Structures are given as structure tokens and as C-alpha cells.
Amino acid sequence: MRVLVTGANGQLGRALRPELSECRVDWVDLPQLDISRAAEVDAWFETHGPYDVVYNCAAFTNVDGCEADFATAFAANALGPMNLARACATGGATLVHVSTDYVFPGTDPGERIEDDVPAPISAYGRSKLAGEGLALSANPRTHVVRTAWLYGEGKNFVRTMLSLAARFDEVTVVDDQLGNPTSAADLARELVRITQTSSFGVWHCTNEGTCSWADLAEAAFELAGVPCKVRRCTSAEWKAMHPESADRPAFSSLRNARLEATIGNGMRPWREALAAYVASAVSPGTGAGGE
């Protein structure tokens, strides 16, 4: 297969490398290709295509940054997927576009399924929801895959917590936002499985189980064997300390309902996936996560 992976230097892009080892893959990222520029996307496809599958892992994922600069967020997270979808449609390629749990408002307890109505409360969520709709409209051969709380090779919450634990005895972490910590490696494997189906549309794909950010930090410390304590705080308390921060959904846990109903849900429980990640990410004897 001829494959294009955008955002190739991010956590998910890196996790896809072993999964696509038998394919002919173009791995691209900024500044090589700016997907928000339609002319650049069209020129790339004309020069390097045609492709069978395009994995769009490129995004502006800084939630607070999106709040401060919605124009940039919309360009990357909405116009970018649309440009890729149009190019894919012209060449008959399948697009796999990665989205987020933050398209939901998080006002209702429990897990969200694919058919639940989205209503994002942040600029990041609004830009990602727009990208979903534009991609699906531009190319009928599109899989939109929503995931959450991703960690892998690169900067992420788990590595940040382990780094802080190496320097401090206590960290303050929000305890009233609930979601699904998700391994980039597990997600990458499942994306390839989804790509092999012709059941296009919206999917949820996260590791199984729900926890808070504080729960996740405590689990990472326990698995890494570091004595750092977690001081739990509310979202309101965090907002008072960081007024520039964007609002996050309180309940953004996803259920992999479509996977369960079709090809089977291959995602592990989140604690099992986290244990494997921490075992590989923690430097022996230091308890610190490396970059």
C-alpha cells in the first residue's frame, strides 16, 4: 500500500511506524507540509501520490493555545482535514482522521458513544468538531477516530508528571475531570485495523476504563516507584490558579461502541497499557520520564 502519514513526528505518528513497516510510507510534518494550505496539499499529492490511505495525525493540540489563537486552531484542525479529504477524494484514497473526546461538553456522567450529540466547550473542541464534519463531507471514504488523553513517545501528561515527581514531593492535579488515558501504541494498532474496513464514519478508540487526571498521576507514580504525592483539586480551584486556561469537559469518557459492534474492541484496560508504557519510559533507578 502507498500511505501518507501527516504529523509524523508527533506521538501517534511515531507509534504508527512499526505498524506500517510493510507499507510504502511518506512520513511528513511541518515545515515539509502544512496541511492548512490547500495549494500545498494539492501539490504534494500531485507530486508524491497517489495514495491508498492517508493517516492525519497533524493537529494543533495545545488546548489553552487554541483558546488564545482560534484562527490558527481552525486552520490546523478544521481546514487541514478538509484539504486532505478533498485530495483523498480526488485520488480515491481512504482518509483516517484523528479527533478528540473534547468535542463533547462533558456535562453528563458516563461514557459517550459515537451517536451522542457533540457540543464542545473549548476552542480546541470546536475546531476539531469542525474538522470532523468538513472531512466527512469532502470524502465519503473517511474514518473519523476520536481518542483521548493520549500518551506515547514525546511530551504528554504522564511524562510531565514523572518529570515533576523527580523534582518535587507533591504535585497538584485536577480530580473532577474524567476520561480515558490512551496509549498511542494501542491506538496505532487499532487505527490500522479500522483502515481495513469499509465501514466509514465516526469511531471511538480509547483504552478501556475511566479515571481522573489525579488518578492517572497517582497510578503513574505507583508504577514508576516514585514517592511523590498527589494533592487533588477541583477544576474551579485550578482555574483560579490559572485563569488563562481553557475549560475542559468534566465527563469526556468514551465508549468504543462501534468497535464492539463491528471488528471487535482490541483496546486494553488503561492501567494495563499504562504499566507497559511506564516500564519502557522510566529511566532505571531515577523514576524520571525521558523525552
Band (288; pLDDT cuts 50, 70, 90): very low
Q: Note the pLDDT of residue 282.
A: 65
Question: Model confidence over 74-89: pLDDT tens digits?
Answer: 999 999 999 999 999 9
d(CA 111, CA 269): 15
d(CA 239, CA 234): 9
Q: Note the pLDDT of residue 70.
A: 96
Q: Say whether 55 is catalytic.
A: no
Is residue 285 predicted with pLDDT exceeding 50? no
What's the chain's average pLDDT? 94
Q: Which domains are seen in the chain, by residue range? A: 2-156+180-210+249-268 (3.40.50.720)
Is residue 289 predicted with pLDDT exceeding 50? no
Is residue 216 predicted with pLDDT exceeding 50? yes
Q: What is the 3-state secondary structure (H, E, C) of the chain?
A: CEEEEECCCCHHHHHHHHHCCCCEEEEECCCCCCCCCHHHHHHHHHHHCCCCEEEECCCCCCHHHHHHCHHHHHHHHHHHHHHHHHHHHHHCCEEEEEEEHHHCCCCCCCCECCCCCCCCCCHHHHHHHHHHHHHHHHCCCEEEEEECCEECCCCCHHHHHHHHHCCCCEEEEECCCEECCEEHHHHHHHHHHHHCCCCCEEEECCCECCEEHHHHHHHHHHHHCCCCEEEEECHHHHHHHCCCCCCCCCECCECCHHHHHCCCCCCCEHHHHHHHHHHHHECCCCCCECC
Sign for the CA dihedral angle at 276, 278, 282, 287 comes to negative
Of the candidates 51, 124, 151, 277, the residue annotated as catalytic is 124
Q: Note the pLDDT of residue 281.
A: 79
Is residue 33 predicted with pLDDT exceeding 80? yes
- By percentage, how much of the chain surpasses pLDDT 70? 97
**Residue of 290 and 98 predicted with greater confidence:** 98
Q: Note the pLDDT of residue 290.
A: 24
Which value, in Å, is the radius of gyration of the alpha carbons in the chain?
19
Band (71; pLDDT cuts 50, 70, 90): very high
